Amino acid sequence: MKVDTVLSTCVRIVEDYFLRIGDELETVRALLVGPFEGGPVDSRLASRSIEPQVRAFLDRSPVIGAGYVAAPGALSDHELYLAWWQGDDKHLLATSDAPATGDPLDYTRHAWFRTPARTGLPHVTGPYVDFVCTDEYVMTSTTPVLAHGRMVGVVGADTLLESLETLLLPTLRDARATLVNGASRVVVSSDPHHGTGALLDLSTCREVQPCRGLPLSVALH
Amino acid sequence: MTVRRPATRARSAIFAPLGDEGRASRVENRLAEAIRSGVLADGERLPSEPELAGMLGVATVTAREALVGLRAQGLVTTTRGRGGGSFVTRSRSAGVELGGRLGAMSRVELRDRGTVYAVVLAGCAELAAERADDDDVDDLRDLLVRDESDVGAWRHSDSELFLSVAALTQSARLVREVVRLEADFGGLLRMPLADAAFRRGSTGRNVALVEAIADRDPARARASMRAHVDASLERLTELHASVR
């Protein structure tokens, strides 16, 4: 069955892409466990521990930003902190403020932080417009960082929807398929009538194949 | 370690080249708005005069003139020598600052700014109701303020609720526009929240907005947002009449 083969190819490309990011995040996570189990960690130590690794990751991957986001109280000097590098110049984010008041934005309520905090497992959030870090339309991969059994934050990486479209659209077109997230929201679709970000009624689809270990599925129309 | 603030879109917009002949007062106004709204943080070092001039596409002498104006407004202090430069001194009394800004504005300008804000946010609410999933709705409910006596925290939550509604449109450009509007006008629009009775009314309107989005009712969501912004604008215009 040619269609099945093409569908499997779509699923595999998605799995490979996010698994590779997961592997990179695992490496960054491991670098933070030592410092956190060794004693108090401030923003500077957290940043220094991962910066070379994160920069190398950004160099070899299409992600637009990556780093460590502290759980409240995990760092000795900041309640909320992002050791996060992003953009062409890979600048450090540090804190994120609300535009109207200049007060720090509490990121802990966002799914990319909350879900791994609840499950203790890696997660992929999105598509969503991120107004904390990038002001872009992204998918965010996050992995919890545990030290002494407590979550001290997450390590994560943002992928632009545009990058995913470039990566996936040719294969999705071959299969006439749509990649959706766990809420049936379109990530990338071969069908021009299903715009990215729209909600898709999966009951109208002939077949839906889940991606392993990811809240994503490929649907055939 | 000096923490450099991020080059977000809101910040890029401040340093984007000015369209026509760059005038010192326009440079001054743009930077003053950014400082008052907090896009440029207290204590942050501004680019040097030549850098500023280069970024904004104006002559160095124009940038210098703008900095003189900002110093006169007490928004910037300049120190000389090694490690010197111009630093943001955001007013400690934000309320007094906002009042001053409101007083300096004509009623026409207030209505003009309010109209843009209302139309953009109403459109966001409409699309959010079309595109929100169940988790999104839960997130919005979490942002509703219940018992909060701190007006600053109240304003912050209100602003974050609106940004979150904008994010549900799934359009990054629209969100950046709302970020810009919030930086530009959000502080003024939330001045009426200083009044407890107004806060109660505001809570009711926010609940109605979130419930309309929860019901996936775009028309009601749009109408709720309009009602919310209109109520704030009306109250703000009364405040304006009292200071001017």
Same structural domain, B87 and B192: no
Same structural domain, B121 and B189: yes
User: d(Cα A198, Cα A179) in Å, to the nearest integer?
Assistant: 12
Say what the pLDDT of residue A102 is.
65
Total count of domains within chain B: 2
Q: Do A137 and B163 make contact, defined as CB atoms within 8 angstroms?
A: no
Q: Do B38 and A100 make contact, defined as CB atoms within 8 angstroms?
A: yes
Residue B2 lies inside a defined structural domain of this protein: no
pLDDT band at B81 (very low <50, low <70, confident <90, very high): low
User: d(Cα B122, Cα B221) in Å, to the nearest integer?
Assistant: 8
> CATH no. for residue B153?
1.20.120.530
pLDDT band at B57 (very low <50, low <70, confident <90, very high): confident
Give SS3 for A96: coil
What integer is the mean pLDDT of A165-192?
95
Q: Which of A77-86, A179-188, B2-11, B84-93 has the lowest mean pLDDT?
A: B2-11
Say what the pLDDT of residue B19 is.
45
User: In the listed set B92, B118, B147, which residue is the last one of a domain according to the structure?
Assistant: B92
The b/e string for A156-173 (b: 16+ C-beta within 10 A; e otherwise) is bbbbbbbbbeebbeebbe
Same structural domain, B123 and B54: no
CB-count burial class (<10 Å; 0-12, 13-18, 19+) for B109: exposed
pLDDT band at B74 (very low <50, low <70, confident <90, very high): confident
> CATH no. for residue B16?
1.10.10.10
Using CA of residue A50, residue A55, residue A59, residue A63, what is the dihedral sign?
Answer: positive
pLDDT value at A206 more than 80: yes
User: d(Cα B191, Cα B189) in Å, to the nearest integer?
Assistant: 6
User: d(Cα A105, Cα A84) in Å, to the nearest integer?
Assistant: 15
Same structural domain, B225 and B129: yes
Say what the pLDDT of residue B147 is.
67
Query: In terms of pLDDT, which residue wins out, B135 or B42?
Result: B135
CB-count burial class (<10 Å; 0-12, 13-18, 19+) for A58: buried
Same structural domain, B119 and B65: no
What integer is the mean pLDDT of B124-131?
97
Q: Is A185 touching B (CB cutoff 8 A)?
A: yes
The matching CATH number, chosen from 3.90.180.10, 3.30.450.20, 3.30.70.1230, 3.40.50.2300, for A11-160 is 3.30.450.20
Q: What is the DSSP letter of B182?
A: I
The b/e string for B168-177 (b: 16+ C-beta within 10 A; e otherwise) is bbbbbebbbb
Q: Are A219 and A205 contacting, i.e. CB atoms less than 8 angstroms apart?
A: yes
User: In the listed set B65, B92, B119, which residue is the last one of a domain according to the structure?
Assistant: B92
With beta carbons under 8 A apart, name residues in chain B contacting A215: none
Task: Give the pairing type, strands A216-220 and A207-210.
Answer: antiparallel
Same structural domain, B18 and B139: no
With beta carbons under 8 A apart, name residues in chain A contacting B167: 128-131
Give SS3 for A8: helix
For chains A and B, CB pairs below 8 A equal 110
Write out the residue limits of the CATH 3.30.450.20 domain(s) in chain A: 11-160
Same structural domain, B124 and B83: no
State yes or no: ipTM above 0.85: no
DSSP A153-213: EEEEEEEEHHHHHHHHHHHHHHHTEEEEETT-BEEEESSTTS-TT-B--GGG-SEEEEPTT
User: d(Cα A219, Cα A184) in Å, to the nearest integer?
Assistant: 10
Query: In terms of pLDDT, which residue wins out, B145 or B163?
Result: B163
User: d(Cα A72, Cα A79) in Å, to the nearest integer?
Assistant: 5
Same structural domain, B17 and B124: no
Distance from CA of A152 to the nearest CA of B (A): 21
Q: Is A103 touching B (CB cutoff 8 A)?
A: yes
User: d(Cα A163, Cα A17) in Å, to the nearest integer?
Assistant: 11
Which residue range forms the structural domain that includes residue B231? 105-243
Q: Which of A83-87, B100-104, B158-162, B224-228 has the lowest mean pLDDT?
A: B100-104
Nearest CA in chain B to A96: B6
Same structural domain, B124 and B230: yes
Same structural domain, B109 and B221: yes
Per residue in A17-70, pLDDT (tens digit) is: 999 999 999 999 999 999 999 999 999 999 999 999 999 999 999 999 999 999
Same structural domain, B83 and B124: no
Residue B4 lies inside a defined structural domain of this protein: no
Same structural domain, B116 and B86: no
What integer is the mean pLDDT of A168-173?
94
Residue B21 lies inside a defined structural domain of this protein: yes
Q: Is A201 touching B (CB cutoff 8 A)?
A: no
Average pLDDT score, chain B: 82
Q: Do A101 and B187 make contact, defined as CB atoms within 8 angstroms?
A: yes
Per residue in B170-218, pLDDT (tens digit) is: 999 999 999 889 888 998 999 998 888 899 899 999 999 999 999 999 9
pLDDT value at A74 more than 80: yes
Residue A27, φ and ψ in degrees, nearest 5: -65, -45
With beta carbons under 8 A apart, name residues in chain B contacting A131: 163, 166-167, 175, 179
